[in-house]
């Protein structure tokens, strides 16, 4: 059982009426599903993108963020994913959460009202203070980058 709980205030738009609040789909799920808060279907053709409203605005503690991530089933079956993944919702943002979907599949995809289109994961973060230096400490990896390990 998870010990830490986070209280996040959520405000729904008038358009959200009749839709359930996001929820976790299993006991150990890290993300809760976000729903499409639209009146009319939106068709996303291959290689097109669309900003889908969720009807939700959030208020969370200052040391938290929400990350919007793709749903694996939509990615696998339809090639639908998020263009900016993960999308970051900062603690001081009070506007409506939107999901920027892109269709990388070969067929048009229809988004309908209440469809589970993405997942949202809440995390705490640490703010960094950058310290300019002229030399960094050596490490075993060094400057090895993309593909340096041969994998």
Q: Tens digit of pLDDT for each residue in 106-127? A: 999 999 999 999 999 999 999 9
- Domains, the chain: 12-124 (2.70.40.10)
The residues near 138 (Cβ < 8 Å, ≥ 6 apart) are none
- 74: how many CB neighbours lie within 10 A of its CB? 21
Tokens matching residue 70: 């793709």
Q: pLDDT tens for residues 60-85?
A: 999 999 999 999 999 999 999 999 88
């Amino acid at each position: 059982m998870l010990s830490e709980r986070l209280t996040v205030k959520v405000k729904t738009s008038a358009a959200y009426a009749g839709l359930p609040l996001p929820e976790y789909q299993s006991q150990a799920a890290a993300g809760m599903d976000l729903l499409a808060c639209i009146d009319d279907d939106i068709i996303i053709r291959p290689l097109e993108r669309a900003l889908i409203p969720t009807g939700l605005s959030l208020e969370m503690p200052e040391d938290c963020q929400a990350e919007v991530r793709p749903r694996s089933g939509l990615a696998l079956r339809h090639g639908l994913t998020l263009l900016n993944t993960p999308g970051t919702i900062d603690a001081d943002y009070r506007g409506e959460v939107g999901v920027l979907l892109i269709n990388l599949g070969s067929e048009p995809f229809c988004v309908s009202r209440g469809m589970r289109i993405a997942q949202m994961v809440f995390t705490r973060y640490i703010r960094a203070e950058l310290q300019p230096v002229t030399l960094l400490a050596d490490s075993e990896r060094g400057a090895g980058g993309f593909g340096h390990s041969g994998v």
